[in-house]
């Protein structure tokens, strides 16, 4: 986290100077007013400047190149779009594509978006290798945020059902990103546990009640049997 102070004739003026110099948006910084400027006798202007302190993350030198990779992919697809990018934390870069063709890029249940995410990650890994520590999150018109809320709601419903019926609740197949959201949403629920089951692209999350139940016992027994299985050969 970097910190720098700026001053201006007013708070608005100081903020404007800071954002222009740092080449950042107001959403990318945290602003603290250190000293409020004092107005003159007639209330016009200020005798002393307003001083603000701006907290911000260092922007990746490769941010423009990441945007170019996404823009080139969309261009080859014949998609016209704006590709704003921002660095949300020390290692996470969020690229939210804005386009009238959002439905095409998102696809059914986000399948096309996940394919694009994989392609972008693959190109970034190939171009920058092990030196790149940035994690690129590709989004289309805020779809991931909306989808995340839907998944959290789905996770809570599955947990309630598992606790009520004491049976395992299997959710639909999901990407690793979406499965992680389910696991994180329920990790603090002491009455249930979650497990990923199956092989991609059909890998899904199952929610189990810790209070037992037929399906839970069968799942655990199957796992134990699978782990302790010994091959049996008949004598010829």
Residue 52 φ/ψ, nearest 5 degrees: -120, 155
- Same domain? For 207 and 162 the reply is yes
- Same domain? For 193 and 215 the reply is yes
- Same domain? For 219 and 150 the reply is yes
- Same domain? For 37 and 79 the reply is no
Helix (H, G, I), strand (E, B) or coil at 118: helix
DSSP state of 201: T
Residue that terminates a domain, selected from 87, 111, 141: 141
Q: How far apart, in whole angstroms, are the C-alpha atoms of residue 234 and residue 139?
A: 57
CA-wise closest residue to 139 among 173, 92, 187, 90: 92
Does residue 236 belong to any structural domain of this protein?
no
- Given a contact cutoff of 8 angstroms between Cβ atoms, the answer to whether 79 and 141 are in contact is no
* pTM attached to this predicted model: 0.60
- Same domain? For 126 and 195 the reply is no
Residue that terminates a domain, selected from 93, 113, 141: 141
Does residue 230 belong to any structural domain of this protein?
no
Q: What is the pLDDT of residues 187-201, one digit of tens each?
A: 999 999 999 999 988
Domain ranges, residue 212:
146-225
- Same domain? For 158 and 208 the reply is yes
Q: How far apart, in whole angstroms, are the C-alpha atoms of residue 65 and residue 69?
A: 6
Residue that terminates a domain, selected from 12, 28, 56: 56
Q: Of the given ranges (41-45, 56-60, 194-198), which has the lowest mean pLDDT?
A: 41-45
The mean per-residue pLDDT over the stretch 12-20 comes to: 91
Q: How far apart, in whole angstroms, are the C-alpha atoms of residue 29 and residue 93?
A: 15
Q: Considering its fold, how many domains does the chain have in total?
A: 3
CA angle 156, 162, 165 (to 5 degrees): 135
- Same domain? For 11 and 45 the reply is yes
Q: Of the given ranges (12-26, 50-64, 144-158, 205-219), which has the lowest mean pLDDT?
A: 205-219
- Given a contact cutoff of 8 angstroms between Cβ atoms, the answer to whether 181 and 167 are in contact is no
Q: What is the pLDDT of residues 205-231, one digit of tens each?
A: 999 999 876 456 555 555 545 444 444
- Given a contact cutoff of 8 angstroms between Cβ atoms, the answer to whether 116 and 132 are in contact is no
């Amino acid at each position: 986290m970097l910190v720098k102070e700026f001053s201006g004739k007013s708070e608005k003026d100081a903020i404007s100077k800071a954002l222009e110099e740092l080449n950042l948006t107001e959403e990318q910084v945290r602003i603290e007013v250190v000293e409020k400027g004092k107005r003159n006798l007639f209330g016009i202007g200020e005798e002393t400047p307003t001083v603000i302190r701006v907290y911000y993350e260092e922007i990746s030198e490769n941010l423009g190149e990441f945007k170019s990779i996404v823009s080139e992919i969309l261009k080859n697809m014949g998609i016209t779009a704006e590709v704003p990018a921002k660095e949300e934390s020390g290692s996470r870069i969020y690229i939210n594509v804005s386009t009238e063709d959002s439905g095409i890029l998102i696809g059914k249940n986000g399948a096309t978006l996940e394919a694009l995410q994989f392609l972008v990650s693959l190109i970034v890994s190939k171009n920058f290798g092990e030196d790149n520590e940035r994690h690129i999150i590709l989004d289309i018109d805020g779809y991931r945020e909306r989808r995340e809320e839907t998944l959290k709601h789905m996770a809570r419903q599955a947990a309630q059902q598992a606790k009520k019926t004491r049976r395992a609740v299997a959710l639909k197949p999901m990407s690793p990103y979406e499965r992680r959201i389910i696991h994180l949403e329920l990790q603090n629920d002491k009455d249930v546990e979650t497990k990923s089951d199956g092989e991609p692209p059909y890998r899904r999350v199952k929610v189990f009640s810790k209070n037992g139940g037929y399906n839970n016992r069968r799942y655990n027994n199957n796992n134990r049997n699978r782990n302790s299985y010994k091959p049996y050969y008949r004598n010829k």
